[in-house]
Amino acid sequence: MNEIDVLKKISSNLTERKNSAALSNYRVLCSNIAFLNEAFSNAIGTLRLLHGEIASSLRSDALLNPKYKSGTDLNAFIPIVSRLQLNSFSVFEKLATLTTPDERAHITLENVSALSRGFDDYNNLVTATRQYIDSIVSDSYQLYLLDPKSFNYHVLVSLNSFSKYATKSLAHALFNAEVESALSEFETIKFKNWTKSHITECNHNTFAQKVDFLFSVLGAPLDPDLPDAVKNIFKFSSEFTHIGYISTFFTSTSGAEVIFGDDEGPYLPSTENFSELKYEILETACKVLVATYIPSFVKCLEKLMLKPQAEKFSTSLHLAAKALSEAIASRNSKYFFFVKTGLVGSATSIPLTCMCRNKKTWAPPHATSELFCDSCGSSFQLLEVDGESGYIITSNGPAKIIGANVPDFHDLPMTEQIKLLQQCEEARKAHGPQPGSQTGAAR
């Protein structure tokens, strides 16, 4: 293959976009986006609410560790921490506004083109994602370190770039004699010495190094793929923000789209593809908030405040992280149901109530491709059993066998319920917890 062969392949394949197929179930995507976007917004809301209380505690010397009380050198960090947080919230909120689900209520065949997604949509979403990922990693890094030289480096590099092109009014609003003198001091340092000088330091220069450092000190995240996902999102968004050829081509070619449809109305392949990306981004954004920002902030408060005060806030912060983790885990999950042997393949419809409370009726001929929840995208696995009692004892609790001629567990007389729960407790002691099984869905 020579250079002309490659050029021809590009010319014939990457100049006109083929119609992309809708890859996932659009309704499930919209429902999951709505659910996770709400959980994400709630977490940001909680952080904002806590910020007020934390800021007022930080103003009280009696609640601070001696090293950070008024009059000490490190007291300079008190207003900085408060400001850093407010900056991050603006960036977080922007991503939350751009990751809401598509509004489909008034979409008809005539106006379905309103759902078409192109360059502007991708550009806005991916740029906001880049800002989010950049700012959350850098803020987590600074909050965790609370180190004067590292913080100086971060601010002076940015101030130095800003001053190059800032208009008079912008410069006037930001620069005063003190800031000027700090910047002049920085300008005396040669570029190659910026990362290690008498006023600045940066031990983790690149984005990837900061990510690795954070996970090494905060502990590995629940999702082992998260560090790579964060780095990949960074590269992916670079392609967009620096207007790489591929992203521009992919998003700017407009052409007639095939119209798809489901129970809620018509939609377009580009709408669905865009939603798929939106969901992926939202999921990673939530995981990063849980795995880096919140734990770094907890570490920061432990440094600044006396133990009881820091603990009070870290409990609330951990609760917010837990709620968000649970929200993520409840989407696209896998749930097990116990059904009576012989029911699958019979003429009877099988009721399956998902953990998200969505009720599905699995009608004959019981196609396995239908074994998923159309609200949260979780897949269902059925285990056929012949339980004599009509219930299955699992380490997660008793579960009624679907199709068994017995009342639901919660409709049983209390003495019967207690008896079943005792059997479950014995099973738990005998076998230990069963990781990953979600037998509660079998209720």
Q: Shortest distance, CB of residue 443 to Zn ion, whole angstroms?
A: 13
**Binding to Zn ion, residues 339-378 (CB under 5 A):** 354, 356, 358, 373, 375-376, 378
Q: Shortest distance, CB of residue 378 to Zn ion, whole angstroms?
A: 5
**Binding to Zn ion, residues 378-397 (CB under 5 A):** 378
Q: Smaller CB distance to Zn ion: residue 306 or 355?
A: 355
The SS3 assignment for 301 reads helix
Q: Shortest distance, CB of residue 334 to Zn ion, whole angstroms?
A: 11
**Binding to Zn ion, residues 202-241 (CB under 5 A):** none
**Binding to Zn ion, residues 5-24 (CB under 5 A):** none
Q: Shortest distance, CB of residue 359 to Zn ion, whole angstroms?
A: 9
Is the Cβ–Cβ distance between 100 and 34 less than 8 Å? yes
Q: Smaller CB distance to Zn ion: residue 306 or 371?
A: 371
Q: Smaller CB distance to Zn ion: residue 237 or 275?
A: 275
Q: Shortest distance, CB of residue 380 to Zn ion, whole angstroms?
A: 9
Is the Cβ–Cβ distance between 142 and 150 less than 8 Å? yes
Q: Residue 130's Cα: distance from chain center in Å?
A: 13
Q: Shortest distance, CB of residue 335 to Zn ion, whole angstroms?
A: 8
Q: Smaller CB distance to Zn ion: residue 22 or 376?
A: 376
Which of 230, 231, 227, 223 lies closest to 332, judged by CA? 223
H/E stretch holding 90: helix 77-98
Q: Residue 372's Cα: distance from chain center in Å?
A: 23
Q: Shortest distance, CB of residue 374 to Zn ion, whole angstroms?
A: 8
Q: Smaller CB distance to Zn ion: residue 104 or 331?
A: 331
Q: Smaller CB distance to Zn ion: residue 82 or 358?
A: 358
Q: State yes or no: residue 316 binds Zn ion (CB under 5 A).
A: no
| Residues touching Zn ion, count (CB under 5 A) | 7
Q: Residue 437's Cα: distance from chain center in Å?
A: 23
Is the Cβ–Cβ distance between 346 and 364 less than 8 Å? yes
Residues 6+ apart with CB under 8 A from 247: 122, 126, 239, 240
Is the Cβ–Cβ distance between 352 and 402 less than 8 Å? yes
Residues 6+ apart with CB under 8 A from 115: 102, 104, 107, 267, 268, 270, 271
Q: Smaller CB distance to Zn ion: residue 315 or 379?
A: 379
DSSP classification of residue 242? T
Residues at the interface with Zn ion (CB under 5 A): 354, 356, 358, 373, 375-376, 378
